Amino acid sequence: MENSTCLAFTFLSTPVCSEEWKASVLKNIEALVGSCVVVPCSFSHPKESLPTSRMRGLWHHSRDMKHLIYYEDSTMVMENFRGRTRLLGELGKGNCSLEIKEIKDHDNGPFCFRIELARTGTDTGTKDKFSFKEDCVTLQMLTNPKDPELTYKDPVEGHPFSITCFATHTCPTFRPKLKWNTGTEVQITERHRELHPGFWEMSSVLSFVPTVNDDHKEVTCTAQFNGEKMSTAKMTLYVKRMENYNHIIIPVAVAIGLVAIFGGLCFLMMKKYRRRIEELQRQDGT
């Protein structure tokens, strides 16, 4: 019998009891068909602290608690989910995160978490149990992955240049692989991080020194996701050549030089004439 006092209050208002049984689950998560998805989940309960071995975590369909998509006894799990789900965290630490792999296009949900506190190994009829039906997750199916994004600045011949490729995903267990269509004279740096609960980002930085031969060359970043699905992003290099600035730099430098020379000659001539005038004035005076 499930927390009958709390359930009784549920029909009237937000129950005080249910506030003590708390769960934090994302309402909506994108899931790529054929890949996997991780549903971040955390919970707390008002009873004494128990180890993971004294807790039973279940995930079930919101319509029927008997439709289990995860349970420690796999024989009780619905056949189409059997072998495709697992808990990633420790229940004793309040982690109820769920992984679903080999996503099917009908794995939408909603799915809800349920916790049972079993103080003994044979305690199958515990009254301390709760289904978080108000905190269920719905999977938004993606038939194809989203294209990665590219960020870069304009390349200049002979100067270090970098392009960054970003791919977001919801399956940290199987990170997407990022590949470039480039030669061997490059440096590639990869990074993986969590953007926010339920969403991760894989990035790859391509670094090299562009030459004239790289002008108008197409650079492609391909993201390969779990389930053999791929997406690409492309950009064309427009390399700014150093000699392109010569038609500006050389005339300006020549002009500045001529001005300096002309100014110097004028200064010397004026100084010479001034001395001659002074000499003539002295002669007139005598």
pLDDT in tens, 126-157: 667 777 888 899 999 999 999 999 998 888 88
Mean pLDDT for the chain? Answer: 81
Question: What DSSP letter does each residue of the chain carry, written as one string?
Answer: ---HHHHHHHTTSS-HHHHHSEEEE-SEEEEETTS-EEE-EEEE-SS----GGGEEEEEEETTEEEEEEE-SSGGGS-GGGTTTEEE-S-GGGTB--EEE-S--TT----EEEEEEE-SSTT--S-S-EEE-TTS-BEEEEESSPPPPEEEE---BTTS-EEEEEEEEES-TTSPPEEEE---SS-EEEEEEEEEETTEEEEEEEEEE---GGGTT-EEEEEEEETTTEEEEEEEE--PBPGGGGHHHHHHHHHHHHHHHHHHHHHHHHHHHHHHHHHHHHHHHH-
| Cβ atoms 32, 142 nearer than 8 A | yes
Q: Show me where the domains of the chain are located.
A: 22-142, 149-237
The amino acid that residue 80 corresponds to is N
Query: How much of the chain, in percent, has pLDDT values that exceed 70?
Result: 82
Q: Could you tell me how far CA 231 lies from the centroid of its own chain?
A: 16
Instruction: Convert the pLDDT of each residue in 46-95 to its tens digit.
Output: 777 777 777 888 899 988 888 999 998 889 999 999 999 999 888 888 89
Task: Specify the pLDDT at position 116.
Answer: 83
Which two structure tokens, joined as six digits, stand for 62? Answer: 């919101």
Task: Specify the pLDDT at position 70.
Answer: 93
pLDDT at 105 over 80: yes
Task: Specify the pLDDT at position 184.
Answer: 63
Task: Specify the pLDDT at position 17.
Answer: 43
Task: Specify the pLDDT at position 59.
Answer: 93
**Residue 164's pLDDT band (boundaries 50, 70, 90)?**
very high
Could you check whether 22-142 and 149-237 share the same CATH topology?
Answer: yes
Question: What DSSP letter does each residue of 122-143 carry, written as one string?
Answer: T--S-S-EEE-TTS-BEEEEES
Q: Which fold has domain 149-237?
A: Immunoglobulin-like (2.60.40)
CATH code of the domain made up of 22-142 = 2.60.40.10
> 16-20, 152-156, 182-186, 217-221: which range is least confident on average?
16-20
> 52-66, 98-112, 177-191, 250-264: which range is least confident on average?
250-264
Return the sign of the alpha-carbon dihedral for residues 166, 167, 169, 172. Answer: negative
Task: Specify the pLDDT at position 32.
Answer: 92
Task: Specify the pLDDT at position 91.
Answer: 87
**Residue 178's pLDDT band (boundaries 50, 70, 90)?**
very high
- Closest among 214, 137, 207 to 170, alpha carbons compared: 137
